Structure 1
């Protein structure tokens, strides 16, 4: 499923957690690991600053290489010129080197400032043609996936995530949990709230039942289905925490722009707050599917 995994690193604490996650994933799939440091330069940076950043990146790559070698993972390291757009360099490297998955650290910050500024991980997630596994400083990384959650809402983004989660469960033997969240916040106005929620719950039930049928037809041995009520991102996080889930698989949008940043998305909130790794991928075709046409 994953033959080549990409790990961008900068020597930070969160990058160290990402290193552990990348090595764990590479070990599970007997995959090769590419460790890169992206040199970020702009008109304001000095040669001395660039040199120190590259030196720090090389130290981080050497540490990751040593740790991966101890785990028996084949590793390649490289310093990549990124200019002012680090995420573009990461995405281009992944495409040029036929990477199957990117593993990155991100931050658990919240607030309007964070939305406006974004982060390299989130920009990479929006533009990458392969899945991006994100962790933050407090993420618990398990040595194997025993249970995986995939939320579904019937969209193409959720559908792509479901397909990937099924493949992941088949490859690792993990139990697959399919959940749908009835968003209580969307019911407003002079309506019969109980009737509307019951209708939404029934529609969600039909959706998860279809997802379960697909998973079982594909050969997944253990599948659970749940329809939840609440704020979507919080309901998903609570479900994962209550059931010792090892990984969340979610679809995301490739949209950009101020409105999208201010509104955020369920996936991005989960990415920031999840205690376990989140594997996110864009809806539509993957790079391999596009290449095959």
Structure 2
């Protein structure tokens, strides 16, 4: 389970909108909190309507104020300023998470809009692309406010690969600690929705593909039942289902129906055009789901 939270801040009220979530996580999980600011090369004068931090001295003063606020909440908190100006801030955040041995990065997600948002992705998505540390993304509304964070209802989007193991482990622990409902969601494609990456040659052998996917559905149902039995034995209020078709509408629909305040899943960590060409699932969900996302980068062995 998570014990060290890394919270990157840029000096804006929008970035600070994650602090109530940080408080909730730190209090319930017993986490230490590390605030981080990375000095940018040629920083803008303002960011998200607030004055942008221009130098290390100003960043230190700013973080000291936030540290005092979090300490007044009873949290164990410290701060770090990366003083060497960086052109790639998301990469620097990802590297610091590993260097400082942080096991969860807490970010609010906000894009630049328009073509820049499409090409480069949000800073949050780029942190995922560069790093190996799980990230929780908190989406803010148009006024920069984060929704209440229970969590009371958790969706774990899983498959039958080892990539889903840390997702299930974390969601099980969160459900027990927060006494939240946990729903396991699996999605098996149909012959019409399957991609060449999922089943090579699917378009050339549709009958065989349908049989293989039906068999995968049966195996997935069996795996889900095993997980549910283990969860129920640990007194976790758990449920689950296996959907057929495309993953993103199934995830968003299930999260909406169950009023989930967090969805957890593994991700390849693609952003921007890379995500567009790869048809990346997380980027599509980010565009249509308003709750928090707990994302685990897939580590290729």
Shorter-chain TM-score category?
Answer: 0.7 to 0.9
Tell me, which stretches of 5 or more residues in structure 2 are unaligned?
46-50, 195-201
- Of 137, 141, 144, the residue aligned with 2:150 is 144
Q: Quote the residue 1:234 is aligned against.
A: 249
Counterpart secondary structure, 1:103? strand
- Which of 279, 282, 286 is equivalent to 1:271? 286
Matched, 1:161 2:174: no
Deviations 1:182-236 (A, max 9, x none): 446516979989x977974663353254144235426252221112345422221
Determine if the alignment matches structure 1 residue 117 to structure 2 residue 120. yes
**CA displacement 1:106-137 (0-9 Å, x = unmatched):** 12678765332123211211232221001121
More deviation, 248-257/4-13: 248-257
**CA contact 1:5–1:102 (8 Å) conserved in 2:** yes
Q: 1:104 to 1:70 in 2, by over 3 A?
A: same
Distance across 1 between alignment mates of 2:180 and 2:125: 27
TM-score, L = length of structure 1: 0.78
Note if contact 2:90-2:124 (Cα within 8 Å) is conserved in structure 1.
yes
**Unpaired stretches in structure 1, ≥5 consecutive residues:** none
Q: Which range moves more in the overlay, 265-274 or 207-216?
A: 207-216
Structure 1: how far apart are the matches of 2:277 and 2:117?
10
Residue 140 of structure 2 aligns to a residue whose secondary structure is: coil
CA distance in structure 1 between the partners assigned to 2:177 and 2:140 by the alignment: 27
- Output the CA distance in 2 between the equivalents of 1:273 and 1:62: 36
The alignment partner of 2:54 has SS state of helix
Helix, strand or coil: the match of 1:210?
A: helix
Cα distance in 2, alignment partners of residues 147 and 45 from structure 1: 39
1:93 matched residue in structure 2: 96
The equivalent position to 2:78 in structure 1, one of 64, 76, 84, is 76
Checking the alignment, whether the CA contact within 8 Å between 2:126 and 2:269 is kept in structure 1 is no
What pairs up with 1:5-16 in 2 under 5 angstroms?
A: 5-16=5-16
> 1:15, 1:104 within 8 Å by CA — same for their partners in 2?
yes
Distance 2:153 2:30 in 1: 20
Q: More helix per residue: 1 or 2?
A: 1
Q: Partner of 2:37 in structure 1?
A: 37
Q: Distance in 1 between matches of 2:62 and 2:74?
A: 18
- CA RMSD, Structure 1 to Structure 2 (Å): 3.7
Question: Which residue is equivalent to 2:199?
Answer: none
- State the match for 2:183 in structure 1: 177
1:247 shift after superposition = 1.4
- Partner Cα separation in structure 1 for residue 55 and residue 111 of structure 2: 23
